Structure 1
Amino acid sequence: MSNWGKDWLFILIKSLTRSEKRQFTLYVNRLQNNADAKFISLFNAMDKMEEYDEQAILKQKITSKQQLSNLKANLYKAILASLRMNPSKKNVRIQIREQLDFATILYQKGLHKQGLKILDKAKQIALDVEEKSLALEIIELEKVIESQYITRSITGRADELIAQSNDLIVQNYYATKLSNLSLQFYNEMLTSGYAKSEEEKQEMINQFSDQLLDINIDLLNFREKLWYFKAHVWLCFLIQDYRNAYKYAKFWVELFYQHPKMIQSHPIWYLKGNSYLFKILLLFKSVDKYIYWNNRLEDQLNNENFPQSSNIDSQRFLLQFSNKLNIEFIQQTYNGSLLFVKQLQRGINEYRNMIDEHHFHILYFKVASLYFGYKKYDESLAYTERILCKSDYSVQEDLLFHTRILSLMAQYESGIDQNYEDFVKANRALMKKMKNKTEIHDTFMTLFEGLLGASDKEQKAVLERFVNRTEELYTNKFYVRSILYIDVLNWAKRKLK
């Protein structure tokens, strides 16, 4: 996979579709200040590059080295301006903001009634799609106009605006508080990981409950309920309360099915809700439920009214590809062709600048695990290597540890074990640096260290000790996630047989 580098302009140009490039060319040609076509020359030069090369641009003498930075900055703004004019890019938030801008222009020209008429329509749209911050901004401009110009448009206009404003302030207060709480626990999940003891679990529950004391769910509208359910899902994941995580993830997704218009307005959060629901169903290995919710998702994605954009398409790819892998994990038939795995590289090539590398590493790990289940150890090792070769990228420590464990299992099974000892040493060194090390990590390592160079009789003793100790550890529910994709315990049991 080639690297496009860190040049934002280059990445933006490479993300454009053919129609967007054509529209940009038309847009720039309408600007008299760019008659010298420097914009177009720089744009075309960068569009033809496979990787960003500043020296190649300077050799074409499009501009001087001193002026290149300014030209790139102006080109970046011009591309965004042309995209903003593209009807296909105008989602409802852009449309509302555009109407607000138009009303502001009319107000500045003294055309107050025209401005208020536009604002009233924009406000209604904002309220319909629960864009309450925008609605409040519109009301504030309405107040300004009404206070400076006696329109006599509606009797009791002041009372109406005050009532609307007060209601939105309350709803925005709830939304802000819940979104802060949701983000706080999501950050906790990324930085500190899951609760590892009853004490940690109780501390998180207390912290969460303290911030919900003044929130009555019956007073919440769609947007606030969405944040309410999100916050609960992330708390439940943190404390590994998967039954309640399933309950709130289902509330999250069903909220969109109860308000189908919101799927068009907030497609990313619809996809994210489904993503968390599927993660829990995978833990429960609920085949029927997984397929039921996946069919409902696919019905929406195949609907011609489902929104499309590069960002939405990238998240859609992640979810659909992950679901195909997960259904294989749940059914555990291991009798398919795995032809769909070829879609992974196509997706990486298309969305490499829209999806962070961690998500691709998760997919690599799942594919490697699936190939291991198929006893295709060469392919499994090839996908673990895609993660382990990333010395320039900080792979999440738990993912790195389990990737090396999976690689050790594949090396052991395949006999391709010339690097086995190096992997054991590397993983033991990693454990010394791990912030969230648990006893289960140490038990895994003791197993593979014990298998190194052992005779058949010694290996049997090592496996028996591992099985006995791990079964004892797995009575602790906080270790259950360790067997999600690689069940080392059952693998060891099969080795004993």
Structure 2
Amino acid sequence: MSNYKSDHLFLLIRTLSKSEKRNFILYANRIKRNKCTKFMKLFEIMRKMSVYNEKKILKKAPIRKEQLSNIKAHLYKQILISLKKLQNPIENHDIKVREYLDFSKILYNKGLYIQSLNLLKKAKIIAKSYESNTILLELVEFEKMIESQHITRSLYSRYVELSEESKELIERIQCNNALSSLSLELYGLYLKVGYVRNEKDKIFIETYFRTNLPKFDINKLSFYEKLFLYQAQVWYHYIRQDFIMCYRSSSKWVELFQNHKNAKKMAPVSYLKGYHYLLDTLFYLNHYSKFIHVFQQFEKEVENGEILINGNTKILIFMYTYTNRINKHYMEGSFSEGVKKVIPLLFIELNKISNRLDSHYIMILYYKIACLYFGSGDNENTILYLSKIMENKKKTYDKIYNVFPDFYI
């Protein structure tokens, strides 16, 4: 596992699909002289490696050791550029907005102010539809600058509209920031101190939450403001071990996405995490029938392609699918059946993404597997997987030894 993590360029190349590798070769070879360049030869050598080996690279490639760092940096940049060209603007709306903004600035520098404003309008339509308020504010500020410094024949009312639009966006961004910061701070508190242990802890977390929660009208909140609010509530109730309230907040989280179909494409990672926390809470509450219903719904959405699949979501879907399949057998007490049905498939899928999976995730899986073996009476394999956790000296996994620690994912 450490070999995969030892080189950023190697890891990036390992994550490329066949079509992405083919696209990069076509992109890099668009200039004939690139076919024999050192960075292309380096790419050909590294894509055939299963484990990063610098000595092997220097032996095969016409590259001196002192050149290797610069050539790797250049290759890394070229791969990223080729990947950017492959991005679907529908799935990555922010890239499309940025592109319009870049083009708008180019036209502005050419003195083509009306054309520049036309592109800004297109960018604003996309940004508004996806509630990308931060970049929308940047677009409005650039539009204000063009309108204020140059004669564009705009109506006087346009200046007032832009000023009001800017103020409204700043207020919305501030509210959004306050809620997202609260969510992150509560998560940090949980990692630092864990659950409340006494009345003093309870009073502290309640005071902290209420003091930092901004005033709001739930009916006026945007999608992202509601999302950050529900995230903050989930962590607040979880720290207090109020799993019923945690269930309510995580249900609202998932429901929010289901009421905004486009949001599943906008923020698929947040949607998956909402599902994870909902399932995790149901597991803690031991609400089996509801757990099964939600889990089946989750797997159906994955199977039907309702959740965007990319490098991030593949890992999360793998983790949340298999941790909850194991949890299902915990709830049923069918440990031996779980060993037969879940473990073989788990390792087949794990081998496909192990080079991209954080060691922390792997340690959690080992713990879940160990518990499954222990429940089935297989002490030998239980010790085997617990030993794998103890042998990992890279990080401290104190929290792994808590009961059912998958909430940390």
Structure 1 residue 48, shift from structure 2 partner: 1.4
Residue 238 (str. 1) matches residue 236 (str. 2): no
Distance 2:155 2:377 in 1: 75
The amino acid of 1:71's aligned partner reads: I
Structure with larger Rg = 1
Which residue in 2 is equivalent to 1:71? 71
Checking the alignment, whether the CA contact within 8 Å between 1:246 and 1:281 is kept in structure 2 is yes
Structure 1 residue 371, shift from structure 2 partner: 1.8
Structure 1 residue 33, shift from structure 2 partner: 6.6
Distance 1:154 1:295 in 2: 56
Distance 1:13 1:243 in 2: 45
- Describe the shift of the 1:201–1:396 C-alpha distance in structure 2 as closer, same or farther (beyond 3 A): farther
Structure 1 residue 153, shift from structure 2 partner: 4.9
- Describe the shift of the 1:330–1:152 C-alpha distance in structure 2 as closer, same or farther (beyond 3 A): farther
Distance 1:238 1:364 in 2: 25
Structure 1 residue 21, shift from structure 2 partner: 0.6
The amino acid of 2:176's aligned partner reads: A
Checking the alignment, whether the CA contact within 8 Å between 1:364 and 1:386 is kept in structure 2 is yes
Which residue in 2 is equivalent to 1:136? 137
Structure 1 residue 24, shift from structure 2 partner: 0.7
Residue 203 (str. 1) matches residue 204 (str. 2): yes
Checking the alignment, whether the CA contact within 8 Å between 1:104 and 1:115 is kept in structure 2 is yes
Which residue in 2 is equivalent to 1:341? 343
Q: How do residues 40-51 of structure 1 correspond to structure 2 at under 5 angstroms?
A: 40-51=40-51
After TM superposition, which residue ranges in structure 1, 4 or more long, deviate above 4 angstroms?
Answer: none
Structure 1 residue 156, shift from structure 2 partner: 2.2
> In the TM superposition, what whole-angstrom CA distance separates every residue of 1:126-185 from its partner, at most 9, and x where no partner exists?
111111111111111111222233323566222222222111111100111111111111
Checking the alignment, whether the CA contact within 8 Å between 1:99 and 1:118 is kept in structure 2 is yes
Q: How do residues 90-129 of structure 1 correspond to structure 2 at under 5 angstroms?
A: 91-129=92-130
The TM-score, its normalising length taken from structure 2, stands at 0.92
Distance 1:365 1:351 in 2: 19
Structure 1 residue 219, shift from structure 2 partner: 3.2
Distance 1:158 1:354 in 2: 50
Q: Secondary structure at the match of 2:194?
A: coil
Checking the alignment, whether the CA contact within 8 Å between 1:311 and 1:354 is kept in structure 2 is no
Checking the alignment, whether the CA contact within 8 Å between 2:326 and 2:342 is kept in structure 1 is no
- Describe the shift of the 1:328–1:155 C-alpha distance in structure 2 as closer, same or farther (beyond 3 A): farther
Which residue in 2 is equivalent to 1:369? 371
Checking the alignment, whether the CA contact within 8 Å between 1:256 and 1:263 is kept in structure 2 is yes
Checking the alignment, whether the CA contact within 8 Å between 1:314 and 1:355 is kept in structure 2 is yes
Residue 192 (str. 1) matches residue 190 (str. 2): no
The amino acid of 1:269's aligned partner reads: S
- Describe the shift of the 1:196–1:26 C-alpha distance in structure 2 as closer, same or farther (beyond 3 A): same
- Describe the shift of the 1:224–1:346 C-alpha distance in structure 2 as closer, same or farther (beyond 3 A): same
Which residue in 2 is equivalent to 1:229? 230
- Describe the shift of the 1:277–1:305 C-alpha distance in structure 2 as closer, same or farther (beyond 3 A): closer
Q: Secondary structure at the match of 1:328?
A: helix
The amino acid of 1:171's aligned partner reads: R
The amino acid of 1:348's aligned partner reads: L
- Describe the shift of the 1:299–1:345 C-alpha distance in structure 2 as closer, same or farther (beyond 3 A): closer
> In the TM superposition, what whole-angstrom CA distance separates every residue of 1:431-474 from its partner, at most 9, and x where no partner exists?
xxxxxxxxxxxxxxxxxxxxxxxxxxxxxxxxxxxxxxxxxxxx
Which residue in 2 is equivalent to 1:495? none
Distance 1:147 1:385 in 2: 68
**Structure 2: gaps of 5 or more residues:** none
Which residue in 2 is equivalent to 1:476? none
The amino acid of 2:127's aligned partner reads: A
Q: How do residues 415-454 of structure 1 correspond to structure 2 at under 5 angstroms?
A: none
Residue 58 (str. 1) matches residue 33 (str. 2): no
Q: Secondary structure at the match of 1:62?
A: coil
Q: Secondary structure at the match of 1:260?
A: coil
Which residue in 2 is equivalent to 1:16? 16
Q: Which has the higher contact order (CA 8 A, sep 6+)?
A: 2
Checking the alignment, whether the CA contact within 8 Å between 1:245 and 1:280 is kept in structure 2 is yes
The amino acid of 1:114's aligned partner reads: Q
Distance 1:61 1:302 in 2: 43
Distance 2:336 2:398 in 1: 32
Q: Secondary structure at the match of 1:170?
A: helix
Residue 312 (str. 1) matches residue 309 (str. 2): no
Distance 2:26 2:77 in 1: 15
Q: Secondary structure at the match of 1:3?
A: helix
Structure 1 residue 394, shift from structure 2 partner: 2.1
Distance 1:193 1:357 in 2: 22
Distance 1:117 1:300 in 2: 39
Checking the alignment, whether the CA contact within 8 Å between 1:263 and 1:270 is kept in structure 2 is yes
- Describe the shift of the 1:25–1:270 C-alpha distance in structure 2 as closer, same or farther (beyond 3 A): same
Q: Secondary structure at the match of 2:131?
A: coil
Q: How do residues 161-176 of structure 1 correspond to structure 2 at under 5 angstroms?
A: 161-176=162-177
Q: Secondary structure at the match of 1:375?
A: coil
Residue 383 (str. 1) matches residue 380 (str. 2): no
The amino acid of 2:40's aligned partner reads: I
Distance 2:179 2:356 in 1: 27
Distance 2:271 2:399 in 1: 28
Distance 1:313 1:177 in 2: 30
Structure 1 residue 343, shift from structure 2 partner: 2.8
Distance 1:311 1:326 in 2: 23
Checking the alignment, whether the CA contact within 8 Å between 2:373 and 2:381 is kept in structure 1 is yes
Q: Secondary structure at the match of 1:295?
A: helix
The TM-score, its normalising length taken from structure 1, stands at 0.77
Distance 1:126 1:213 in 2: 25
The amino acid of 2:359's aligned partner reads: E
Checking the alignment, whether the CA contact within 8 Å between 2:237 and 2:245 is kept in structure 1 is yes
Checking the alignment, whether the CA contact within 8 Å between 2:336 and 2:375 is kept in structure 1 is no
Q: How do residues 385-424 of structure 1 correspond to structure 2 at under 5 angstroms?
A: 385-390=387-392, 392-400=393-401
Q: How do residues 143-154 of structure 1 correspond to structure 2 at under 5 angstroms?
A: 143-153=144-154
Checking the alignment, whether the CA contact within 8 Å between 1:321 and 1:344 is kept in structure 2 is yes
Residue 299 (str. 1) matches residue 300 (str. 2): yes
Structure 1 residue 88, shift from structure 2 partner: 4.2
Which residue in 1 is equivalent to 2:327? 326
The amino acid of 1:363's aligned partner reads: L
Which residue in 2 is equivalent to 1:270? 271
Distance 1:340 1:94 in 2: 39
Which residue in 2 is equivalent to 1:255? 256
The amino acid of 1:228's aligned partner reads: L
Which residue in 2 is equivalent to 1:411? none
Distance 2:166 2:214 in 1: 24
Taking only aligned residues, the RMSD between alpha carbons, in angstroms, comes to: 2.1
- Describe the shift of the 1:345–1:335 C-alpha distance in structure 2 as closer, same or farther (beyond 3 A): closer
Structure 1 residue 376, shift from structure 2 partner: 2.5
